[in-house]
Amino acid sequence: MRPEFKDKIMHVLFLVPTLIAAGMLVMMLAFMSEGIGQISWRFLSSSIFEGGIFEPIMGTFFLFLGTVLITMPIGIFAAIYLVEYAPRDSKFVRIVDQAINNLAGVPSIVIGLFGYTFFCKILGLGISLVAGWLTLTLMMLPIMIRGTEEALRMIPQSFREAAMALGATKWETVRDAVLPAAMPGILTSILLGVARVAGETAAIIFTASVLTMRGLPRTPLEPVTSLTFYLFVLLVAIPKTSYKVAFGVALVLFGIVFLFSAIATVIRMYYRRKWKW
């Protein structure tokens, strides 16, 4: 076979999968665009009892707000401890690291099952917003700790030396030299965590939401519905759902997740350009 010919074949061989992938994306976008006609102020702001999706939007918001408030302090403190305080390569750190990795790899439905058994039943929180927060925390925590750890480890040792050499204590060094420089990275991991939580379904199916249609929770002990869960309900429980509504919900969900990821990317790019070290 002539080498030029062989090269052409290889060219095609690499091109075809690219086209398939691109084609699938385009098709998905085409389907999603079905939902565009659905999106209107009325759709977004009226209750599910009137064909809108106000409760699922607010529910998604409540869910990730609470989860972030619980996860952020725990995740950031744990990461600071692991990177700045714990003796490097200690056995304890290795075990914790391994545990975090394992937690990150657990399928969300299994986390949901655990959340249901532990938070809803054993702790008696029932199927509720707060049980949802705690379960989602289990999902977001590994992302948060990993991301923050990474952001802290990216800070060159010379930053710490700079503060230390002026007589700063350990904590002053972390506060003034390390954290400000790591902040963009930490923020990015929070936003990526939020994107993950906002798109999560399996973890809240058993823990935070119920199939009956209901309004917004009045206390954290009441169930809540989210965009993901509402989509699930539309497809499996309500006969003759118009696909247009389902795609409308999907589009809003996609928009929210995309927004958070995009903000995270912009922050990262901005700081990368501003601080070169």
Partner 1 sequence: MWYGRKHVLKNINIKIPEKRVTAIIGPSGCGKTTFLKSLNRLIELVDGVRVEGEVLLDGVNIYDSQLTPTEVRKRVGMVFQKPNPLPKSIYENVAYGPKLHGIRDKEELDKIVKEALMAAGLWDEVKDRLHDSAFELSVGQQQRLCIARAIAVKPEVILMDEPCASLDPISTAKVEALIRELREEYTIVIVTHSLQQAMRISDYTAFFYYGELIEFGPTKKIFEEPEHELTYRYITGQFG
Binding site for partner 1 (CB under 8 A): 87-89, 156-169, 172, 176-177, 180-181, 274-277
Nearer to partner 1, 3 or 87 (CB): 87
Nearer to partner 1, 117 or 169 (CB): 169
Supply the minimum distance, in Å, between the C-beta of residue 158 and partner 1.
4
- Return the DSSP state at 220: T
Q: Is 275 exposed, middle or buried, given 0-12, 13-18 or 19+ CB atoms closer than 10 A?
A: exposed
Residue among 25, 31, 60, 4 nearest 232 (CA) = 60
Nearer to partner 1, 167 or 239 (CB): 167
The token duo for 51 is: 């064909």
Supply the minimum distance, in Å, between the C-beta of residue 172 and partner 1.
6
Q: Determine the Cα–Cα distance for residues 94 and 120; give it in Å rounded to an integer.
A: 31
Nearer to partner 1, 45 or 169 (CB): 169
| Cβ 154 vs Cβ 192: under 8 Å | no
Query: Which parts of the chain are beta strand (E)?
Result: none
Supply the minimum distance, in Å, between the C-beta of residue 72 and partner 1.
21
76-79, Cβ contacts within 8 angstroms, sequence gap of 24 or more: 76/144, 76/148, 76/186, 78/145, 79/144, 79/145, 79/148, 79/149, 79/152
Q: Determine the Cα–Cα distance for residues 97 and 146; give it in Å rounded to an integer.
A: 9
- Return the DSSP state at 40: -
Nearer to partner 1, 65 or 154 (CB): 154
Supply the minimum distance, in Å, between the C-beta of residue 100 and partner 1.
22
Nearer to partner 1, 218 or 274 (CB): 274
Cα 277 off chain centre by: 29
Nearer to partner 1, 177 or 204 (CB): 177
Supply the minimum distance, in Å, between the C-beta of residue 79 and partner 1.
18
Supply the minimum distance, in Å, between the C-beta of residue 271 and partner 1.
10
Inter-CA distances, 83 with 80, 111, 147, 153, 254, Å: 5, 27, 12, 7, 34
Supply the minimum distance, in Å, between the C-beta of residue 216 and partner 1.
42
